[in-house]
Structure 1
Amino acid sequence: MTTNTPAATAAATPAIRPTNPNFSSGPCAKRPGWTVDALKDAPLGRSHRAKIGKAKLKAAIDKTREVLGVPADYRIGIVPASDTGAVEMALWSLLGARPVTMLAWESFGSGWVTDVVKQLKLDATVLEAPYGALPDLTKVDTDTDVVFTWNGTTSGVRVPNGDWIKDDRQGLTICDATSAAFAMDLPWTKLDVVTFSWQKVLGGEGAHGVLILSPRAVERLETYKPAWPLPKIFRMTKNGKLIEGIFQGETINTPSMLCVEDYLDALDWAASVGGAKGLIARSEANFKALQAWVDRTDWVENLAADPAIRSCTSVCLKIVDPWFAGLDKEAQAGVPKAIAALLEKQGVAYDINGYRDAPAGLRIWCGATVETADVEALTAWLDWAFAQVKAELSAKAA
Structure 2
Amino acid sequence: MSDSFSQYWANEIDTLALAPQRRHICAFGDFPTIGRIDPNHDIVLVLNGTSSGVCPPDLDWILPDRAGLVIADAVSAAFTRHIDFDRIDVLCWSWQKALGGEGGHGMIALSPRAQARLKIRERKPVARLMRLHNPDGSVNKAFFGGRTISTPSMFAVADIHSALDWAEACGGLPALLKRVASNYAVMADWVNSTPWIDWTCINPAARSTCSITLRLVGEHVAAIDKEDGDEIVAGMIRLLEAEGAAFDIWSYGDAPPGFRIWAGPTVEADDLAILCEWLAWAYSETCDASIRPEAISRIGAITHSCEPNVGLFDALTLVEMQQ
Q: What's the offset of the Cα at 1:326?
A: 5.9
Q: What's the offset of the Cα at 1:170?
A: 0.2
Instruction: Assess, with a 3 A threshold, how the Cα gap between structure 1 residues 326 and 197 changes in structure 2: closer, same or farther.
Output: closer
Instruction: Assess, with a 3 A threshold, how the Cα gap between structure 1 residues 121 and 214 changes in structure 2: closer, same or farther.
Output: closer
Contact 1:289 1:375 in 2 (8 A): yes
| 2:53 pairs with 1:156 | yes
| 2:248 pairs with 1:351 | yes
Contact 1:223 1:240 in 2 (8 A): no
Task: State the AA in 2 paired with 1:152.
Answer: G
Work out which of the residue numbers 200, 212, 222 in structure 1 matches 2:97: 200
> In the alignment, which residue of structure 2 is the partner of 1:147?
44
Contact 2:235 2:290 in 1 (8 A): no
Instruction: Assess, with a 3 A threshold, how the Cα gap between structure 1 residues 381 and 214 changes in structure 2: closer, same or farther.
Output: same
Task: Tell me the SS of whatever aligns to 1:126.
Answer: strand
Q: What's the offset of the Cα at 1:258?
A: 1.0
Contact 1:106 1:358 in 2 (8 A): no
In 1, the alpha carbon distance for the partners of 2:248 and 2:293 equals: 26
> In the alignment, which residue of structure 2 is the partner of 1:229?
125
> In the alignment, which residue of structure 2 is the partner of 1:4?
none
Task: State the AA in 1 paired with 2:120.
Answer: T
Deviations 1:248-284 (A, max 9, x none): 2222233111111111100111111111111111111
Matches within 5 A, 1:174-213: 174-213=71-110
> In the alignment, which residue of structure 2 is the partner of 1:311?
208
> How many residues of Structure 1 are paired with residues of Structure 2 in the alignment?
294
Task: State the AA in 2 paired with 1:145.
Answer: D
In 2, the alpha carbon distance for the partners of 1:331 and 1:118 equals: 36
Task: Tell me the SS of whatever aligns to 1:301.
Answer: strand
In 2, the alpha carbon distance for the partners of 1:204 and 1:120 equals: 34
Decide which moves more: 274-283 or 335-344.
335-344
The RMSD of aligned alpha carbons is 1.7
| 2:67 pairs with 1:170 | yes
| 2:191 pairs with 1:288 | no
| 2:313 pairs with 1:382 | no
Task: State the AA in 2 paired with 1:124.
Answer: Q
Task: State the AA in 2 paired with 1:269.
Answer: W
TM-score w.r.t. structure 2 length?
0.86
Matches within 5 A, 1:1-398: 105-120=2-17, 122-226=19-123, 228-238=124-134, 239-325=136-222, 328-394=225-291
Instruction: Assess, with a 3 A threshold, how the Cα gap between structure 1 residues 331 and 244 changes in structure 2: closer, same or farther.
Output: same
Task: Tell me the SS of whatever aligns to 1:323.
Answer: coil
Decide which moves more: 176-185 or 132-141.
132-141
Q: What's the offset of the Cα at 1:396?
A: 8.4
Q: Which runs of 5+ in 1 are unaligned?
A: 1-103
Task: Tell me the SS of whatever aligns to 1:254.
Answer: coil
Contact 1:336 1:354 in 2 (8 A): no
In 1, the alpha carbon distance for the partners of 2:99 and 2:195 equals: 33
Q: Which runs of 5+ in 2 are unaligned?
A: 297-323
Task: Tell me the SS of whatever aligns to 1:181.
Answer: coil
In 1, the alpha carbon distance for the partners of 2:102 and 2:293 equals: 42
